[in-house]
Amino acid sequence: MKYEWRKKDKEIYLPKSKPTMIEVPKTKFFTLKGKGNPNSEAFKEHIKTLYTLSYTIRMMPKKGITPEGYFEYTVFPLEGVWDLDEEGRRLENLDKDRLVYKLMIRQPDFVTDGLFWQAKSTAAKKVAEDHLNAVQLEKIEEGLCVQCMHVGSYDSEPKTFSLMDEFCDENNLIRIDKRHREIYLNDARKTPSEKLKTVLRYKVLDRE
């Protein structure tokens, strides 16, 4: 049976539109660091690189290669951890050119270092070499977090973050730092901004 993240991992990827607390386990990701405006061509190339590698793994059996432990699955959604550089943090208003990010796509447990490098070799003809060389295979454990489903444009996210901050205050939780994670459940190129669904999440500590 195909592994469908929308069915198997609802708690992680399909939270309600009210803040909740969650313990996020360690999982594997293809990751790619960058900086600057997410409307730039470089950002689009980063996304293309991650999806190309992810689908290369997914389609291997159709190319006559079945990795050990392989199972049918749906490719996981794009995610990004967002921060600002030092100058950007000092500004009163958000300057998207000062953004710092790590984009990523989760991978099944059967993806090994060897399989990762094999996928890189296959994808070399489809994406820029410098972007491909920058991709890493990482195990990431977020731990205790607060998350919420945001519906609407990315620019309206502060409203949802305010709700999350209020939830933290009410539940004796402390946000660890200013970084946050976004999980993109729609293709922004094809979805009206008011219908975009984005999981917003940040790490917390329990005061108790």
Q: What is the pLDDT of residues 34-67, one digit of tens each?
A: 999 999 999 999 999 999 999 999 999 999 999 9
User: What is the C-alpha to C-alpha distance for residues 11 and 169, in angstroms, rounded to an integer?
Assistant: 22
Mean pLDDT of 3-18: 96
Q: Are 178 and 84 in contact (CB under 8 A)?
A: yes
* Exposed e or buried b per residue across 159-193, where buried means at least 16 C-beta atoms within 10 angstroms of its C-beta: ebbebbeebbeeeebebeeeebbbbbbeeeeeeee
Q: pTM of the prediction?
A: 0.95
Residue 197 CA to chain centroid, in angstroms? 13
- Looking at every residue in the chain, the average pLDDT score rounds to 96
Burial classification of residue 32, based on how many CB atoms lie within 10 Å of its CB (0-12 exposed, 13-18 middle, 19 or more buried): buried
